[in-house]
């Protein structure tokens, strides 16, 4: 915990440095949600096809999901989500594409478990 996933259009792969964005995301989660750096885990998942409305060209989508253990106030989660969108704006340069960026901070389900080997 936290579990961070960055889903994005494959067209954005060259538009940002995933390591730099992950570093910024981890710093925000540590500062705002009181996580520890070692607990932050981020995975980037490029999508092979993007459509926005009826358009299949000229657009890129990036969505960040942050899953936290339950217990943070709604205000904390909202503040973290806003910080994530600011980071996306700072790190992602879509080069000729219209970027549709979004973020969500949610509680992990009570069934969440982890395993480290």
What is the tens place of the pLDDT at every residue in 20-73?
999 999 999 999 999 999 999 999 999 999 999 999 999 999 999 999 999 999
Cβ–Cβ under 8 Å, residues 15 and 70: no
Structure pTM? 0.95
Paired tokens of 21: 């964005």
Start-end of H helices in 1-117: 18-33, 74-91
What integer is the mean pLDDT of 98-106?
98
Q: Which domains does the chain have, with CATH numbers?
A: 3-107 (3.30.429.10)
Paired tokens of 17: 């440095």
């Amino acid at each position: 915990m936290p579990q961070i996933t960055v889903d994005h259009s494959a067209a954005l792969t060259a538009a940002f440095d995933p390591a730099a964005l992950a570093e910024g995301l981890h710093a925000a989660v540590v500062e705002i949600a009181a996580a520890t750096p070692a607990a932050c885990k981020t995975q980037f998942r490029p999508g092979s096809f993007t459509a926005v409305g009826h358009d299949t060209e000229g657009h890129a989508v990036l969505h960040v999901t942050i899953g936290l253990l339950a217990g943070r106030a709604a205000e904390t989660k909202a503040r973290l989500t806003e910080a994530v969108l600011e980071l996306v704006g700072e790190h992602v340069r879509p080069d000729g594409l219209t970027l549709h960026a979004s973020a969500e901070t949610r509680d992990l389900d009570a069934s969440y478990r982890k395993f480290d080997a």
